[in-house]
Amino acid sequence: MNKPFSAPSPTTLRLPRPDRSIETYRLSSPRDFPEKAAGAFNRVAFSAGHVVADPLAACDPWLEAAVDWEKTLAFREYLWDLGLGVAEAMDTAQRGMGLHWPTSLELIRRSVAAAKARGGALVFSGAGTDHLAPEAAHGIDDVTRAYEEQVAAIEAAGGRIILMASRALARIARSADDYVKIYDRILVQVRQPVIIHWLGDMFDPALAGYWGASDLDAAMDTALGVINANAAKVDGVKISLLDKDKEIAMRRRLAAGVRMYTGDDFNYAELIAGDESGYSDALLGIFDAIAPAASAALARLAAGDRASFDDILAPTVPLSRHIFQAPTRFYKTGVVFMAYLNGHQDHFTMVGGQESARSTLHLAELFRLADQASLLRDPERAAARMRAVLATRGVES
């Protein structure tokens, strides 16, 4: 005799709430996103990639970065499979928050080699001045030499450049002219067009007043002057100001052929979709956490299906805004936590000990929002891992 059909019991777990009560949370079913890109994109789309720490390394995490190279490179292969480019050794990889230049260069070399082995997968890598302590910079020549050293090392590895913002430059610059001089000197030397990265001080307080002005409109004038004067050496500019109006205004003033790469993890969906006067390509930290949804949405946009693009990406925006909430520089904790929940790594350990940078309540809300966006690809595993983390923070199942 056949037994009557019984639907499997939905996965539940206990999650803390701000009032210190504990709720029984019931997970939804995940959306069935493709594991590989479903078609070509009509936007250039980079995901900044996180690094997977080696949790068993004999080191002091606050002082040394121990990387699990196999898992870190496997995650890049996963991003490439989904049709996304990799923005390597950027702030999502904890550049300047646990990942130092020597380890960053090793990461870049390995990623560039892996991209070449795939026949030329898209990867650009961050060149900055982070091996030069800001207090050790005494003038623009010091900063210029630091940029030159990193650019040369990445180009020697066969890599393309993302020209990162410099803490040392922000410290020593006396006017906008100092920024113009340094960027002009570097851009004339690069072998291939670069992406310029303007990172706001919400991501890194040491970058306050970048481009020589605290007023964003004045800073934008300087940045545009540099970019448009060197348009042949600039593939695009990524701005991470979390201000969609500033991004759109800058996008409309770029020289022909220079791309705007949105770095707005609050408003990326509408900026990528664009308006009657243009659109933004993408270079986003949140794409690390929502890669399957981003890939599926971009394929639908390229197919002319704006409604499906919005349907897929809209639920991811509340999650992204939560992950990137102030203090925004701690967003990396949420990105790595998503990778842990989804099985891309077997532990929630980060270089620099940054797994402790967000509260238990923050992680619990992240879990809810990821579930509501259909981004937990194996609910049972995600729930088990969430329980394990909560147990270490005093919330027993």
Q: Determine the residue type at 359.
A: S
Neighbour tally for 380: CB within 10 Å: 11
Residue 1 is predicted with a pLDDT of 40
Question: How many whole angstroms separate alpha carbon 105 and alpha carbon 128?
Answer: 11
Q: Please name the residues in contact with 111: beta carbons below 8 A apart, sequence gap of 6 or more.
A: 49, 73, 76, 86, 88, 89, 123, 125
Q: Are 266 and 316 spatial neighbours (Cβ–Cβ below 8 Å)?
A: no
pLDDT bracket for residue 39 (50, 70, 90): confident
pLDDT band at 61 (very low <50, low <70, confident <90, very high): confident
Model pTM score: 0.95
- Whether the pLDDT of residue 9 is over 60: the answer is no
Mean pLDDT to the nearest integer, 169-178 = 97
Q: How much of the chain, in percent, has pLDDT values that exceed 70?
A: 98
Does the pLDDT value for residue 121 go beyond 90? yes
pLDDT score recorded for residue 8: 45
Q: Where are the domains of the chain?
A: 41-303
pLDDT at 5 over 90: no
Identify the sign of the CA torsion 388, 352, 329, 233: negative
Are 18 and 361 spatial neighbours (Cβ–Cβ below 8 Å)? yes
b/e code 88-113 from CB counts within 10 Å (16+ = b): bbbbbbbbbbbbbbebbbebbbbbbe
Residue 107 has pLDDT above 90, yes or no: yes
4 has pLDDT over 70: no
Question: Span 99-119, mean pLDDT?
Answer: 97
> What is the mean predicted confidence (pLDDT) over 46-65?
94
pLDDT at 396: 84
- CATH numeric code, 41-303: 3.20.20.70
pLDDT over 90 (residue 258):
yes
Which carries the bigger pLDDT value, residue 277 or residue 332? 332
What pLDDT, on a 0 to 100 scale, did the predictor assign at position 2? 43
**What amino acid is encoded at 324 in this protein?**
F
Distance CA 11, CA 28 (A): 8
Residues 237-246 have pLDDT tens digits of: 999 999 999 9
Q: How far apart are CA 235 and CA 232, in angstroms?
A: 8
Determine what percent of the chain is predicted with pLDDT higher than 90. Answer: 93
pLDDT category at 10 given cuts 50, 70, 90 is: confident
C-alpha 318: how far from its chain's center?
16
Assess contact for 108 and 76: CB atoms under 8 A.
no
